[in-house]
Chain A
Amino acid sequence: MNDLYRFVTGPLAWIAFLVFVAGSLVRIGHMLYLVRKKEAFIFSYFSMSYGLRSIFNWLIPYGPVNMRRHAVLTAVTFIFHLALIFTPIFLLSHVVLWDENWNVSYWSLPDAAADILTVVVIACCAFFWIRRMTQAEVRFLTSASDYVILLLVAAPFVTGFLAYHQVSGYPLFSILHVLTGEIMLMIIPFTRLTHMLFFPFTRAYTGSEFGAVRHARDW
């Protein structure tokens, strides 16, 4: 158990960060290469100001028409993404790890708040799961991989929650927590979680076409 713990928190952690960073760079690099090779016109239509205008407007909750049409989903989506990114970065025990290993120290969340945010992420995942099962237009588009990805996103939070509350067998959950967190990080560049990487690009390109060429709004 200790060996396993040392492996997931040692070499595998390095590998996970490396795969995430290198994989992300490769995906973005490959995309830019493809654009340059096949659809270079995209660069000439790209407009920084209209691209940013589009991204900005789509980051305002209930700004775009479609967000107003889906009030609950919009709330869940914003809360989910904020909690998903915010919680692991500012969790006290993660900050401590940074401090111990790299002597980097920064503000951290109170444990009680982190606990709530963790439950919020899990609840949001459950919401997405139910939405996939019950909404016909989403179910039609859903394949098994969509559920698997959702599980992999929820897993570090579920295991982290169990480990933190020291339920029976929690050392195992600690290991699983680290492991699933690493898996999630590693699959970002290679699954539909790449939307995290590509969102600024697709949004900005559409925003450029709508703004600079078509003189219309895209939200």
Chain B
Amino acid sequence: MVHDAVPAEEKTVLDEGIEKGASRLTEERIAEVINRVLYGEGGARIRVYVDTCVHCGLCSEGCHYYLSHDKDPHYSPAGKVKQTLWEMIRKKGRVSPEFMKRAAEIAHTQCNACKRCSMYCPFGIDIAYLMLVVRRIVHLLGMTPLYIQSTAHSHSATMNQMWVKGDEWPDTLQWQEDEARGEVAGLRIPLEKEGAEIMYSVIGPEPKFQAQLIYQAAIIMNAAGMNWTMPATSGWDNSDMAMYTGDNELMGRIKRRHFETAIRLKVKKIVMGECGHAFRSVYDMGNRWLGWKMPPIPIVHAIEFYYDLLKEGRIKIAKKWTDPVTLHDPCNVVRGRGLHEKARYVVSQICENLIEMHPNREHNYCCCAGGGVINCGPPYKMTRMLGNRVKAEQLFETKSKGAKTLIAPCHNCHSGLEDINHHYGLEMDVKFISDILYAVMEKPEKA
């Protein structure tokens, strides 16, 4: 009785990737793949986690989908495991293609792998991991949602997420350099500078449609007097949707290219822009797949980088941001790296007034875009909107206390919160930290 009470908005979603993939499946093939993943590739955690779960339901309130859907148990973390893995284990993998369609939808679009629930489970069961196991099965069955699979294809063909061609990349950097030289005389975006202290890396969408972020980064690097570089080759993109589709082999290829590029440039560390999932990929998952306990080159997330710049006085603030701000804690750099206090320091240095949202820090509600969910594309936009009403309520509360600007130091959070913002009519101004830092910092003399 797993299929009852499927919420209305999910029934209308038709995903070609899932549908076509499922149409090619047989129960034998499904069973073979499920058993290979559950008992061949994995085993220890899956077994212990499933056996230890006492079905207490205490993880439920950890999940923003559950809270947003008026506590519908289908959306509780353990409820999602029940509708996927428990059934697969109970039936020894012999589940139908129809069942797998629903499982793919749950694992890919009703869980952001934000790991908030593992702080609500008394046993600390990593339910996000279990959902990623389901995605791995979905991947091996060839039925990954269309849009995110297309992104993975882009990674595979171009080593970046957005089909940015080889020459388009340095072209974009030079274009931004030109633009920035209009503001700061003699500014450079150094390419292929061997032995630089920092390799600055970004995600595919930055050159594709957010080039101003590269511009801002260049101004900040320049003002701080950093010895930095960007690669002119592939390996510049730190993003990684393969990590979220369960295509671990591809995740390994992408991360190897990224790390090897930094090693080729003989840099001391990689500084990355404001992205959460990419941080998880380079700091937590991709490096592990490649056999590195920790990243082979230190990885510094933008929040930490700005923190260091401000602490060391390398950046001076001309006039703090006056609009009251609120700060969203992204899962992958807060639950994933504990950068919440550093983020608050940065915000306190560049903004006059921070109004905290509640809950916050490790307990902040997810943006509902991360974990690859926003990358599953337009068919699931309403899944994200209805699945995160609780975020809108949380933001509305800060707005009622006066917050006008919403700082989201993560690309997925930023895009997801922008959607929430519009859908629920919050009319907040969603910003990256770098947007504000760029606006309020003292800049070198004009050209």
Q: Which residues of A approach B to under 8 Å, CB–CB? A: 31, 34-35, 37-39, 41-42, 44-45, 54, 58, 64-66, 69-70, 73, 135-143, 146, 192, 194-195, 198-199, 201-203, 205-207, 209-210, 213-219
B52–A202 CB distance below 8 A: yes
Closest Cβ neighbor of A208 among chain B residues: B124
Interface bits B61-82 vs A (CB < 8 Å: 1, else 0): 1100010000101101011001
Query: When A54-B124, A66-B58 are in contact, do A216 and B362 touch as well, CB less than 8 Å?
Result: yes
Q: Which residues of B approach A to under 8 Å, CB–CB? A: 41-45, 47-49, 51-58, 60-62, 66, 71, 73-74, 76, 78-79, 82, 118-120, 122-126, 284, 288, 293, 334-338, 340, 359, 362-363
Q: List the B side residues contacting A31 at CB < 8 Å.
A: 44, 47-48
Q: How far is the CB of A125 from chain B (nearest CB, A)?
A: 13
Number of cross-chain contacts by CB at 8 Å: 129
B78–A141 CB distance below 8 A: yes
Q: CA of A135 to CA of B66 in the docked complex: distance in angstroms?
A: 14
Q: List the A side residues contacting B53 at CB < 8 Å.
A: 192, 195
Q: CA of A192 to CA of B125 in the docked complex: distance in angstroms?
A: 14
Q: CA of A206 to CA of B338 in the docked complex: distance in angstroms?
A: 15
Q: CA of A214 to CA of B279 in the docked complex: distance in angstroms?
A: 11
Query: When A34-B47, A66-B120, A141-B55 are in contact, do A210 and B335 touch as well, CB less than 8 Å?
Result: yes
Closest Cβ neighbor of A136 among chain B residues: B73
A138–B44 CB distance below 8 A: no
10 closest pairs, A vs B, by CB?
A206-B124, A215-B338, A140-B73, A34-B44, A138-B57, A141-B55, A137-B57, A35-B44, A216-B338, A137-B60
Q: List the B side residues contacting A136 at CB < 8 Å.
A: 71, 73
Q: List the A side residues contacting B119 at CB < 8 Å.
A: 64-66, 217-219
Q: CA of A66 to CA of B118 in the docked complex: distance in angstroms?
A: 11
Q: How far is the CB of B7 from chain A (nearest CB, A)?
A: 14
Q: CA of A143 to CA of B86 in the docked complex: distance in angstroms?
A: 12
Closest Cβ neighbor of A197 among chain B residues: B52
Q: How far is the CB of A210 from chain B (nearest CB, A)?
A: 7
Q: CA of A213 to CA of B292 in the docked complex: distance in angstroms?
A: 13
B52–A194 CB distance below 8 A: yes
Query: Would you list 5 pairs from A and B whose C-beta atoms are within 8 A, ordered by A residue?
Result: A41-B293, A143-B55, A207-B124, A215-B338, A217-B119
Q: CA of A218 to CA of B128 in the docked complex: distance in angstroms?
A: 14
Q: CA of A195 to CA of B288 in the docked complex: distance in angstroms?
A: 28
Q: List the B side residues contacting A203 at CB < 8 Å.
A: 122-124
A206–B52 CB distance below 8 A: no
A195–B44 CB distance below 8 A: no
A202–B124 CB distance below 8 A: yes
| Inter-chain pairs besides A42-B45, A137-B57, 11 sampled, C-beta below 8 Å | A31-B47, A41-B293, A54-B124, A66-B58, A142-B55, A199-B123, A207-B124, A210-B335, A214-B337, A216-B337, A218-B118
Q: How far is the CB of A68 from chain B (nearest CB, A)?
A: 11
Q: List the B side residues contacting A216 at CB < 8 Å.
A: 334-338, 340, 362
Q: CA of A219 to CA of B334 in the docked complex: distance in angstroms?
A: 14
Query: When A140-B73, A202-B49 are in contact, do A192 and B54 touch as well, CB less than 8 Å?
Result: yes
Determine which of B52, B56, B124, B334 lies in contact with A218 in the assembled complex, contact meaning CB atoms within 8 Å.
B124
Q: CA of A166 to CA of B245 in the docked complex: distance in angstroms?
A: 63
A38–B55 CB distance below 8 A: no
Determine which of B58, B78, B118, B288 lies in contact with A70 in the assembled complex, contact meaning CB atoms within 8 Å.
B58
B334–A195 CB distance below 8 A: no
Closest Cβ neighbor of A66 among chain B residues: B120
Q: How far is the CB of B56 from chain A (nearest CB, A)?
A: 7
B76–A137 CB distance below 8 A: yes
Query: When A192-B51, A216-B338, A218-B124 are in contact, do A38 and B57 touch as well, CB less than 8 Å?
Result: no
Q: List the A side residues contacting B71 at CB < 8 Å.
A: 136-137
B42–A39 CB distance below 8 A: yes
Determine which of A34, A64, A195, A207 lies in contact with B43 in the assembled complex, contact meaning CB atoms within 8 Å.
A34
Q: CA of A54 to CA of B284 in the docked complex: distance in angstroms?
A: 20
Q: CA of A203 to CA of B156 in the docked complex: distance in angstroms?
A: 37
Closest Cβ neighbor of B363 among chain A residues: A65
Q: CA of A73 to CA of B58 in the docked complex: distance in angstroms?
A: 10
Q: List the B side residues contacting A135 at CB < 8 Å.
A: 57
Q: CA of A126 to CA of B54 in the docked complex: distance in angstroms?
A: 16
